[in-house]
Amino acid sequence: MKTIGIIGGCGHVGIPLGLALAHKNFDVTLFDINTAAVEQINHCILPFREEGAAEILRAHIAKNLAATTDMRRIREQDAVVFVTGTPVDEHHNPKINDVIKVIKTYLELMTKDQLVVLRSTIFPGTTDLIINLLNDAFGVTKLAFCPERIVQGKGIEEIFNLPQIIAPSSEEAYQEACLIFSKISPRIIRLAPKEAELVKLITNTWRYLEFAAANEFYMMVENEGIDFYTVYNAVKADYPRAAHFPKAGLAAGPCLFKDTMQLSAFYQNNFFLGQAAMLINEGLPNFLVRQLEKKMDGISHKKIAILGMTFKANNDDIRESLSFKIKKQLEFKMAVVLISDPYLNAAPPLDEVLKQADGVILGTPHDEYKNIRLAVPFVDCWGFWNRVHE
């Protein structure tokens, strides 16, 4: 097991995995249709922020790591890892066929001796469908579903520390997947495919539910005119059973919402807790806009700044960010919206935005905003400025 090809390799999951495997001396090729990202990688530039990734990229690029759009080289790989995703559509239904379509596209470039690894988050039952697909094509399947569970931005650190789940189609597939993942992971957990598919979805959904609980408490307490973080800090103070109670915040990004909706579809839409979490988390932007509206006695024609447009702090990823939902709702109420974000090149400088703003909503608690002192009304559901402003 020497050569590993990653399909979708220049994305947020493919790059940390590719770097980790190159660091452990595998020959890694990142296959991607995104020509710009492929060129960036080959020029030793990361297409997005990922802590600790630049050093590994520098050490391995053009040695045992390369990116390419030339898919013919897939057939040269000992193992082929698929990391393209299963999104949900506009009705919140998983587009199960997306990952299957990608695999079908590359079937004629694959060989029956290769280990196929599914690393994407997939709808329960998809691994078995793909095993059947490969059986039909090759008469045999050597496949393992090995879900990625890293948190975005800290993937490099986490990939070497998290246990790796392996759900194989056969003993041979298990042994070969272990040869790869035991090099980067401290512990292997063997499961059946559907068990592993559920582990991945439940992991992300659990996080989404935790944020929803915090967000509903935030809205409940603030609605009463009481400062949420006074209550929150008292709940948590030296009280071990509340140690993991997260702060309120915009729960967004490409995974948590989508995976909760996948689990809901899997449970034939009986997943009331998941649906409630979606309503709460997706309803928070509206609550924040109304909070500011009350504080300012109306926002029509006033200049409102949103600080932070990315979906999480100190990161440059805007996918599914709820700051854009806030922007849309402010515009609907005829406010003049100003945006700021140190990670977006197109956004105007923070000083300029703050000079003009009549009111502020904190969209993302980037470190760059820590020392801001505001003289205008603001809304901060994250509790980021809470103590600073007392």
- Interface with ligand NAD (CB under 6 A): 7-8, 10-14, 31-34, 37, 83-86, 102, 105, 120-121, 148-150, 152, 254-255
Identify which of residues 94 and 342 has a Cβ nearer to ligand NAD in the complex.
94
**82, 102 Cβ separation under 8 angstroms:** yes
- Residue 137's contacts (CB-CB under 8 Å, 6 or more residues apart) are 107, 110
CA nearest to 236, candidates 269, 263, 214, 211? 214
Identify which of residues 86 and 329 has a Cβ nearer to ligand NAD in the complex.
86
Tokens 């996080």, residue?
207
- Convert 168-215 into a string of H (helix), E (strand) and C (coil): ECCHHHHHHHHHHHCCCCCCEEECCHHHHHHHHHHHHHHHHHHHHHHH
Identify which of residues 254 and 359 has a Cβ nearer to ligand NAD in the complex.
254
Strand partners, 304: 337, 359
String of DSSP letters for 343-383: T-TTSPPHHHHHHH-SEEEE-S--GGGTT---SS-EE-TT-
- Tell me the CA end-to-end span of the chain in Å, nearest whole number: 59
Identify which of residues 14 and 365 has a Cβ nearer to ligand NAD in the complex.
14
Q: For residue 52, what are the CA distances in angstroms to 17, 25, 249?
A: 13, 17, 26
Q: For residue 361, what are the CA distances in angstroms to 152, 249, 371?
A: 24, 12, 15
Q: How far is the CB of 217 from ligand NAD (least distance, A)?
A: 26
Among all residues, whose Cβ is closest to ligand NAD?
A: 11
Q: What is the DSSP letter of 246?
A: P
Q: How far is the CB of 8 from ligand NAD (least distance, A)?
A: 3
* Helices 272-296 and 323-332, packing angle to 10 deg: 50
Q: How far is the CB of 386 from ligand NAD (least distance, A)?
A: 28
Q: How far is the CB of 349 from ligand NAD (least distance, A)?
A: 28
Identify which of residues 162 and 336 has a Cβ nearer to ligand NAD in the complex.
162
String of DSSP letters for 210-239: HHHHHHHHHHHHHHTT--HHHHHHHHHTT-
Q: How far is the CB of 98 from ligand NAD (least distance, A)?
A: 8
Strand order in the sheet with 359-362: 336-340, 303-307, 359-362, 378-379
Identity at 14, one-letter amino acid code: G
**120, 82 Cβ separation under 8 angstroms:** yes
Tell me the chain's radius of gyration from C-alpha atoms: 23
Q: How far is the CB of 18 from ligand NAD (least distance, A)?
A: 11
Identify which of residues 122 and 339 has a Cβ nearer to ligand NAD in the complex.
122
Identify which of residues 118 and 338 has a Cβ nearer to ligand NAD in the complex.
118
Identify which of residues 37 and 178 has a Cβ nearer to ligand NAD in the complex.
37
Q: How far is the CB of 38 from ligand NAD (least distance, A)?
A: 9
Q: How far is the CB of 84 from ligand NAD (least distance, A)?
A: 4
Identify which of residues 216 and 317 has a Cβ nearer to ligand NAD in the complex.
317
Q: How far is the CB of 290 from ligand NAD (least distance, A)?
A: 31
Identify which of residues 146 and 306 has a Cβ nearer to ligand NAD in the complex.
146
Task: For residue 33, give the 3-state DSSP assignment.
Answer: coil
Q: How far is the CB of 187 from ligand NAD (least distance, A)?
A: 18
